[in-house]
Structure 1
Amino acid sequence: MTKPFDSDPASGSGVTSQSVSDLLTVILTTSVTPSAPSTELIEAILQSFQRHCPSLTSCRVIVVFDSYDQIVPQARLKRGQVTAEQASNFDLYKNEQEIPLSVIKGEAEFGSPCIVTNSVPFEARQTSDKQVTFIEPSRRLGFGLAVREALRLTETPYVFVAQHDWSIIADIPIENTLRVMQASESDPAVPIKYVCLPAVPRLSCSVIFNLFREFRAGKATRARDDSKHSLTPMFFWHDKPHICSTAHYLARVFPSRLAMLRGDFIEDKIGQRARTQMKEGLWSKWATWLYYPDDGKQLCLRHLHGRTWRGTEGEERKLALYRAQNDITDPTDEDSTSRAACSSDLVPN
């Protein structure tokens, strides 16, 4: 293990005393889900912010309501195909907010500029203090372009990017992460541009790569050292919740309109390219790290399966239908309870 990296302003690292809200914007992408028009899913995400990293709730937030392409009898959400009922419910879901907003119109371009249809009109509705922004494209953008349009409206040097069904389940030291990232700006030998939160055990990372580092964000107190910040290099770019430099995001992931097509996911398109370049010795070009608390034992994320979860009422109806079809009448019957539980998708808490 290397010596801790000191990002204390007094150490001459150049880190400022700006608050988290001055440094960070939250980008949250959401789309058509079986649970709409209920807002339970996104509420679960926001509640996890409040519980485990409350500083995020003071930041500016940009919500992208990604749209769909077709209304069909059988939904295929990943392809942008939704039922008429889901389309109607999504409109209700988007219209839950009741605050005065100014409107910015724009075009999300992609692919060859020679094809006139390679753009999607959108409206960005924003509060006067820019604390909340809603982006609504006229057609499906996909996660990649949704993030890019949000980045273009971002005025802070860092972003926290999250999808609507990844809940935080452990305390995240957001301020320390930002201080470490700021300090790295003056240390090109240890660039830290992207920090992903762990969703699966990574116990072997530091052994395989022997690159685990312990950073320190601020001065340690005598009673307790809360400044230690553990990261390990990651040889990929994930779409899971992450903190990233805004400028780095735009330069590396979206260098031109050709980098991302409509419907693309960043980890599928750019992640593979980044991994190849890292294998060729260009890791510092991407500077991707994984938050690594408790030597990789502590997980920070839980997937809530937004494409299948129907909301509390929907899941109760599904369970009741299952019981009726299978003639399950005794709630104390362990076998029937087990079968019913297996039929239900994961419910956020």
Structure 2
Amino acid sequence: MTMGSTARQAPEELVTVIITTSPTPSAPSTELLEQIAASFRVHCAPLIHCRAIVVLDTYDHISTKPRLKKGHVTPDGAAKYADYKVNAKRLILKEYSPAGRPYGNTDLIKTQEKAEFGSGAAAYASQDNAVVMNVTTTKDGRVTFVEPLQRLGFGLAVRSALRMTVTPYVWIQQHDWALVTDIPLGSLLQIMQENKALAGTTAEAKEMNNEILSEAIRPPVAYVCFPSIRMMEYATSDHVMLYPALRGLTQLHKQNFTVQSETEEGGSNISTVPLTPLFLWHDKPHLASTSHYLNQVFYSRIAIQRGAFIEDTVGHLARDEMKKGSWKKWACWLYYPDEGKHLCLRHLKGRTWRGVEAELAAKLEYMRLNGLDVNVQVPN
């Protein structure tokens, strides 16, 4: 199926990059975020020119042993994270500033918002189920920082950022996943615009539905994830092949979308984008429709608990429905170059990675304790 070649908005005008970050062993270093920004520049340059919302999540408890997934940090970790937030904001303002014009303090506007959440847990029974967030935005609206006074967790962090988003699409980016291959962002957006997920019974939706019925195969595309090592050759993996409904949906909808675009010389260019149906709403980096996200995943304040992950909660609900054949309402796809043999993401392991210097120092200490020859030095 070939997409039209009418004039379209640039990706930078259509997408907001939502970056979530939280305490890590590498703090106060911003090496994780630096690697992500570098991977954007190399493999998907428009992402570094989009609007950006950065959620600088916090911790719940200070304890003697760090348990980052549970929101526990040590006193030293808390102090380092305070410095990290300062460093991270400085880095993002530099990376996302207009060319030749760095942001200054007078460019920043400060407000407060609330993040409501749902929970049946007794631990939250005495609370009003809302977290106050300090929000700092540049006057041009290009960069927003969200700093909650209590820990949000990934799911509530994404929901909070989505509610501040003004673009029709979002790129969700955790702080420890880097791109390792080129991403055709413009083509993916064109496919998503031409194959919108339907919602409600509005006249526009009905008209769109009639158009879709006139096509032999025109399934909605509202979410596109990118393959990590565990998602290689996904279409033929046990995640799909063990379930008749998922096998059938893959056979029916897996395809190369053909995109037609205009060249600078006024001609046209034809390219193909391989996609296969995906049967889980993953948390790792993905491109999605803002409205679809809010309507389908965060349909109300009770959709996500504080501290919860989308993949572990709503994601598995979605998978259960997909196993029964209800996949189009979620409209999830996986970018699938080279029949799933092409890796797109590298995990930087933010919960354990301590930064270049600390990792090298630990390696040298291990070698020393085991009587191995040490011929390298820790960099200055």
- Normalization by structure 1: what TM-score? 0.87
Q: 2:55 aligned to 61, 64, 69, which one?
A: 64
1:41-80 alignment to 2 at 5 Å?
41-80=32-71
1:18-57 alignment to 2 at 5 Å?
18-57=9-48
Partner of 1:213: 255
What's the CA shift for 1:235? Answer: 1.1
Q: 1:318 to 1:285 in 2, by over 3 A?
A: same
Q: 1:112 to 1:34 in 2, by over 3 A?
A: closer
1:156-195 alignment to 2 at 5 Å?
156-185=167-196, 186=208, 188=212, 189-195=218-224
- Runs (4+) of structure 1 exceeding 4 A deviation are 112-115, 186-189, 223-226
Instruction: Measure the CA separation in 1 of the matches of 2:360 and 2:221.
Output: 45
1:109-124 alignment to 2 at 5 Å?
109-111=116-118, 115-124=126-135
Q: 1:107 aligned to 91, 102, 114, which one?
A: 114
Q: 2:141 aligned to 119, 130, 133, which one?
A: 130
| Paired letter, 2:344 | C
Q: 1:83 to 1:218 in 2, by over 3 A?
A: same
Instruction: Measure the CA separation in 2 of the matches of 1:259 and 1:26.
Output: 22
- Whether the 8 Å contact between 2:261 and 2:268 is mirrored in structure 1 is no
Q: Deviations over 1:223-248 (max 9, x none)?
A: 99652111111111100110000000
Please say if 1:140 is aligned against 2:151. yes
What's the CA shift for 1:37? Answer: 0.5
What's the CA shift for 1:112? Answer: 5.4
Instruction: Measure the CA separation in 2 of the matches of 1:112 and 1:58.
Output: 37
Q: Deviations over 1:218-272 (max 9, x none)?
A: 2488x99652111111111100110000000001111111110011000100111
Partner of 1:285: 329
Q: Deviations over 1:112-133 (max 9, x none)?
A: 5975342111111110111111
Partner of 1:247: 291
**What SS does the corresponding residue of 2:328 show, helix, strand or coil?**
helix
| Paired letter, 1:261 | Q
- Whether the 8 Å contact between 2:41 and 2:48 is mirrored in structure 1 is yes
**What SS does the corresponding residue of 2:145 show, helix, strand or coil?**
strand
Partner of 1:235: 279
- Whether the 8 Å contact between 1:112 and 1:257 is mirrored in structure 2 is no
| Paired letter, 1:142 | G
- After TM superposition, the structure 1 stretch with the greater mean CA deviation from structure 2, 225-234 or 145-154, is 225-234
- Whether the 8 Å contact between 2:119 and 2:304 is mirrored in structure 1 is no
Q: Deviations over 1:146-175 (max 9, x none)?
A: 000110110000000010000100000000
| Paired letter, 2:259 | A
Q: Deviations over 1:77-96 (max 9, x none)?
A: 00000011111111111112
Q: Deviations over 1:290-311 (max 9, x none)?
A: 1011111111000010001100
- Whether the 8 Å contact between 2:116 and 2:301 is mirrored in structure 1 is yes
Equivalent residue pairs, number: 322
Q: 1:330 to 1:322 in 2, by over 3 A?
A: closer
| Paired letter, 1:64 | V
| Paired letter, 2:85 | K
Instruction: Measure the CA separation in 1 of the matches of 2:157 and 2:171.
Output: 14
Instruction: Measure the CA separation in 1 of the matches of 2:234 and 2:345.
Output: 19
Please say if 1:294 is aligned against 2:338. yes
- Normalization by structure 2: what TM-score? 0.80
Please say if 1:270 is aligned against 2:314. yes
Report the aligned-residue RMSD.
2.1
- Whether the 8 Å contact between 2:36 and 2:175 is mirrored in structure 1 is yes
| Paired letter, 1:260 | I
Q: 1:6 to 1:123 in 2, by over 3 A?
A: same
- Whether the 8 Å contact between 2:52 and 2:143 is mirrored in structure 1 is yes
What's the CA shift for 1:107? Answer: 1.2
- Whether the 8 Å contact between 1:25 and 1:160 is mirrored in structure 2 is yes
Partner of 1:94: 85
Q: 1:325 aligned to 352, 369, 372, which one?
A: 369
Q: 1:280 to 1:115 in 2, by over 3 A?
A: farther
Structure 1: gaps spanning 5 or more residues: 11-15, 333-349
**What SS does the corresponding residue of 2:29 show, helix, strand or coil?**
coil
